[in-house]
Chains A and B, each alone.
Chain A
Amino acid sequence: MSSLTKVTPRDRVYNASLLELKWRGLWNSVTRGNPWAYVAAAVFVGAVVYGEWIGVFRALEYVCNAGRTFLDAKASCSIVGRSISSRVLESGLLVLAAGVTFSAITTAISTLYASDDLNFLLAQPIPAARVFAVKLLDTYLSAAGVPSVLTIPPLLAIGAFFGAAWWYYPLAMLAALITYALPVALGSSIAIFLMRFAPAGRVREVATGLGVVMSASLVYLIRAARPEELLRQLGQSDSDAAINKLLEALGAPSNPLLPSSWASDFIWTAARGDLNLSILLLTGTAAMMMLIAGWLASRAYLEGWVRGLESSRVKLDPRPRRASSMETALGRFGAAGHLVMKDARLLFRDATQWSQLLILVALGGVYVVSVRAFPIPLDSDQSLILRNALGFMTLAFQGFVIAGVGVRMAFPSVSSEGYGYWLLRTSPISTANIVLAKFWGALPATLILALCLGYFSASSLNLSPVITLSSVLVAFSSAFAITALGVGVGAAVPRFKSDNPAEIAFSAGGLIYMVLALFYSGLLVVIVARPAYLSVINPNAYPGLSYFATLEGIVVLGVLALVTVLGTLLPLWFGWTRLDRFE
C-alpha cells in the first residue's frame, strides 16, 4: 500500500513575477526590521494625517463663513470661500506636482538605469517591457509616493466637510494620483530619450538642468495664481464692488491648461455632488503619456541601458594632479577634514546629489516670496501685532523647512558611504570623528538656509527687534540641532545596502528623525513664546532689545543656549556610539 501512496515529488513550476519578487523583498525587510521604528513611523504618519484632517476641516469652516453676511447665507459655503478654497487646492496640487516634476527625471534615471538589480533582471529571460513597468512603479513611488500620501487626508476632509457621495472618494484620489503620475510618465519618457541620445556621461547633468527649468516654470505658474492676492481682497471685502471684482477674477481656473487645475476642478465640484468631465481629460492625458512612455521604452530602453554602461573616455591624462588649495586647507583639520573634502567631491560629481541643493534653494525661494507677498495692512497698531504674530508663525515653520531639507542632506550622510563604508571602518579614524565630519559637512547648507529664512522673513515683515533676534537665534539653534539629529539618527540606523539612494530618506529611521526634528522645533517655539507674546501684546513695555537684559530674558537666552548645545551633542553622541557597535 505504501508504495501506492508515495507521491513522486514534482517540481513546482515557478512563474516568475517581478511584482511578487519586489513584494517579497519588501516583506523580508519589514519583518526583519526594528519594531520600535515602525511604532514611531505609525505615530508620525498618524499625527500628520490627523493634523492635515483637522487643519483642512477648520480652514474650510473659516473660509466658508467669510463673506457670508454679504452673499448667499443659505449655501453650505459662501461663494468667496468656495473660490478661495478651490484656488488653494489648485495651488497645493501644483506645488506638489512641481516637486514631483523636479525629481522625476533624475529619479527615473536612477531607478530605470542605475539600480543595482538591473544587471540581474535584464539578463533574465524576462521581456524588457516588464522590467520597465516594475521600474516605472519604483520611480512613481520614490518621486511621488510622499506627495500622494500627503494629498489623501485633505481630500478625505474635503469630502467629509461637504458630505460628498461615496463615489467622490475613489475618484478624487484617482485624480490626485494621476496628477502626480503625469510628471512621472513625462520624466521617464525624457529619461529614456536622454539615455538613448544625449552625450554619454552628461546625461545626469542635462536631466538635472531640465528638471530645474521645468519646476522653475511650475513655480512661476504658482506665483501667477497668486493665492495671497485673494486673501488680501478677502480682507478688504467690505464693498460690493470689491466682491464683484473678486468673483470675476475667480471665475476661471488660473492655469486652465495644467492637469493640476483639471484635477482640482474635478475634486472641488465632485465634493459637492457634480460629476465634472475634466476627469476624462485628465485620465485621457495620463493614458496618452503612459502609452508614449511605453512606446519609447519598447524602442530604446534596453539600448539606452547598455549605452549607459559605457563610459565617455576622451583622452587619458596621466599627469600627476596635486591637492587643490581647498583640500590642503581642509586637510589641516586632520582625518575629519579629509573626510569632509571627500564628501564635497562626491556631492558635486553626482547630479542626483547636488540637485538636492537646488531643491533647497527653490524651497527657500518659494518660502521667502510667499512670506513677502503675504497681505498685511500697513501702518496701524493692529498691523504691527498681526505682523509680529505672523513672524512668530514663520519662526515655527522654519523648523519644518529645515527638517525637510535635513532629511535629504543630513540624514543620509552616513548611509551614503554605502558599500564603501568598509574603507572608513578599517581606517584609523574614530566613529566619533566620522560622525562629526558628516555633521560639519552638512551644516553649511542647513545653516545658510536657516539664516536666510530667518533674516528674510524678519526683514520683509519688519518685525520688532525682539522677534527678529529670536528668529535669528532660532534659525541658528535649529540648524545646529536638526542637522545633528539628522546625522546622528542616520548614523544610528545606517542603511549601507539600499538599491536606491532616495529610499534612505523614507526609511523608518527617516520618519523618527522627522518626528524628533519637529519636536525640537516645537520646543524652540515654546522657549521663545514668552518674549514673542510680550512683544506682540505690549510692544512698548520693553523697547528695543531691552527685554533680553531682564532676568527673564537672560533665562530665556540661557535655556535656548543649553537646549541647542544638548540638542546638538546628544544626537551626535547617540549616533556615534550606535555606529560604533554597528557591524
Chain B
Amino acid sequence: MPKWVWHKLYGAVGARLDGMIEVVNFTKRFGRVAAVNDVSLTVKPGEVFGLLGPNGAGKTTTIRGMTGLTRPTSGTVRVAGFDVWREPVKAKGAFGYIPDRPYLYGKLTARELLRFIAGLHKLPKADSEIERWLEFFGLTDFSNELIETYSHGMKQKLTIISAMLPEPPVLIVDEPMVGLDPRAAKQARELLSDYAKKGKTVLLTTHSLPVAEAVAHRIAVLDRGHVLAEGTLEELQRRTSEERSGVEGNTLERIFFKLVEEEELERQRVKDAA
C-alpha cells in the first residue's frame, strides 16, 4: 500500500482512535539543556487538555513543537494524524494557534487581517463570520483602525479570532488569559469549553491553577521539561493523597505544590546517592 494512502486512512480514522493531538517522546534541547524531556501526551476529541507548570517549565516549547515553530530534537508530534514537519500544510490546516505574545501586522486593520486569514485558509464567504466575531469581542468600533493602535488585550482578542475563524478541529492555546480583562477572560474560558463541547479538541497551557481547574478536563503537570503527573483532576487528587499522608490535597494548588515537592526530594535523593 502506498504511503500516502496509509496517511490518508490514518488521518481520517487513526486520529479518531488515538487522539487528535499525539505527542510521542517529544524532546527539545537548546544546546545541551533539555527544555522539554521525553514528553508524551494524547488529547482526544471533545476534550480540553491543560498543560500546567511554572514559568520556564517548557510549556511554550512543547506548543511550539506542535505548531511547527520548533523542530523536535527527537520524538514526533501529530495533529489530526499529520506530522507537522512531514505534512505541514495539512497539519496546519487542522489546528488554530493562539500564541502567548500577540505579534500581528501593525499596519493592517482588524478586518483586513481577518480577511487575510480567511484567504490563507481558503474560507468561502467569511465576511459575515468576521462581523460576528468582531461583535462578540466588542471590536467592531475599532475594526477599521490599524492594529498598531490596539491595546495588548485587543490584540490578544484578535489572535483568538484569527485562530478560531477557520473553525479548526484542534485549537492550541498558549497562556490564553494573560492580558485579558476579567470579562474577556471569562468569555475566553467559555469559548474554549463550548468549543470542546462541539466535539473539537483544545489544548491550553497555563501557569494559573484556577484557569486549569476551571476549564481543563484532563491536566498534565510539567516542571523543568518533565511531566510529573497526568490525569483528570480527581485522578491527580487521588494520586497525591495516596502517595503521602500529611496535607490532604484536593485543590489543584495543593496537588501542584506536592508534585513539585516530590520531584525536588527525588532530585535530592539522586544527588545524595551520587
Contact = CB atoms under 8 A, between A and B. Distances in A.
A321 B111 contact: yes
A338 interface: yes
Interface in A317-337: 317-323, 327, 331, 334-335, 337
Given A318-B140, A342-B108, A422 B119 contact: no
Interface string B139-156: 011111110110000000
A76 to B, nearest CB: 58
A419 interface: yes
Chain A interface size band reads 35 or more
Interface in B198-246: none
Contact of A316 (B107, B112, B145): B145
B127 A320 contact: yes
Interface stretch (A146-154, A191-199, A389-397, A425-433): A425-433
A318 B143 contact: yes
A424 B121 CA distance: 11
Nearest to A428: B93
Contacts of B146: 349
A427 B104 contact: no
B55 interface: no
A440 to B, nearest CB: 15
B112 to A, nearest CB: 7
Nearest to A349: B107
Contact of A346 (B71, B105, B141): B105
A583 interface: yes
A583 B149 CA distance: 29
A378 to B, nearest CB: 52
A427 B117 contact: yes
B266 to A, nearest CB: 32
B93 A423 contact: no
Pick from A349, A427, A583 the residue with the most CB of B within 10 Å.
A427
A427 B92 contact: yes
A54 B164 CA distance: 62
A350 interface: yes
B27 interface: no
Contact of B122 (A322, A334, A349): A334
A150 B237 CA distance: 71
B75 interface: no
A304 B128 CA distance: 41
A69 interface: no
Nearest to A320: B131
Interface string B57-77: 000000000011111000000
B116 interface: yes
Contacts of B92: 426-429
Nearest to B147: A420
B13 interface: no
Contacts of A337: 119
Given A427-B117, A581-B71, A318 B144 contact: yes
A313 interface: yes
Contact of B143 (A320, A338, A418, A429): A320
A428 B122 CA distance: 9
B97 interface: yes
A423 B162 CA distance: 9
B89 interface: yes
Nearest to A422: B99
Contact of A338 (B90, B103, B116): B116
B116 A426 contact: no
Nearest to A431: B88
Contact of B68 (A327, A342, A425): A425
B115 interface: yes
B274 interface: no
Contacts of B33: none
A429 B120 contact: yes
A318 B109 CA distance: 11
A60 to B, nearest CB: 49
A428 B70 CA distance: 16
A413 B38 CA distance: 37
B104 A420 contact: yes
Interface centre among B93, B107, B141, B142 (most CB of A within 10 A): B107
B149 A313 contact: yes
A319 B89 CA distance: 34
B64 to A, nearest CB: 8
Interface in A355-394: none
Nearest to B28: A583
Contacts of B145: 313, 316
Nearest to B90: A428
Interface string A562-581: 00000000000000000011
A428 B121 contact: yes
B233 to A, nearest CB: 30
Interface string A402-431: 000000000000000011101111111111
B105 A342 contact: yes
A339 B141 CA distance: 26
B141 A420 contact: no
B108 A346 contact: yes
Given A327-B115, A345-B108, A426 B103 contact: no
Given A321-B111, A335-B119, A338-B119, A583 B93 contact: no
A320 B112 contact: no
A428 B169 CA distance: 14
A507 to B, nearest CB: 21
A3 interface: no
Interface string B146-178: 101100000000000010000000000000000
Contacts of B149: 311, 313
Nearest to B115: A323
B111 A345 contact: no
A318 B144 CA distance: 7
Contacts of B142: 316, 318
B165 to A, nearest CB: 11
Nearest to B98: A426
Contacts of A331: 119
B127 A322 contact: yes
A322 B104 CA distance: 20
A419 B105 CA distance: 9
Nearest to A429: B120
A422 B111 contact: no
Contacts of A429: 89, 92, 120
Nearest to B131: A320
Contacts of A316: 141-142, 144-145
A327 B120 CA distance: 13
Given A321-B111, A334-B122, A426 B93 contact: no
A318 B70 CA distance: 38
Given A318-B143, A426-B92, A583 B70 contact: yes
B110 to A, nearest CB: 11
Contact of A426 (B67, B105, B107): B67
Contacts of B99: 422
Contacts of B90: 428
B91 to A, nearest CB: 8
Nearest to A310: B149
**3 smallest beta-carbon distances between A and B, as pairs:** A338-B119, A428-B93, A419-B103
28 contacts: A316-B141, A317-B144, A318-B141, A320-B111, A327-B115, A335-B119, A338-B115, A338-B116, A338-B119, A338-B120, A342-B116, A346-B108, A349-B146, A350-B107, A418-B103, A419-B101, A419-B103, A420-B104, A420-B105, A422-B97, A426-B67, A426-B69, A427-B117, A427-B121, A428-B89, A428-B120, A429-B89, A583-B69
Given A334-B119, A346-B107, A428-B90, 11 more contacts: A317-B144, A323-B115, A337-B119, A342-B108, A420-B103, A423-B105, A425-B67, A426-B92, A428-B120, A429-B120, A581-B71
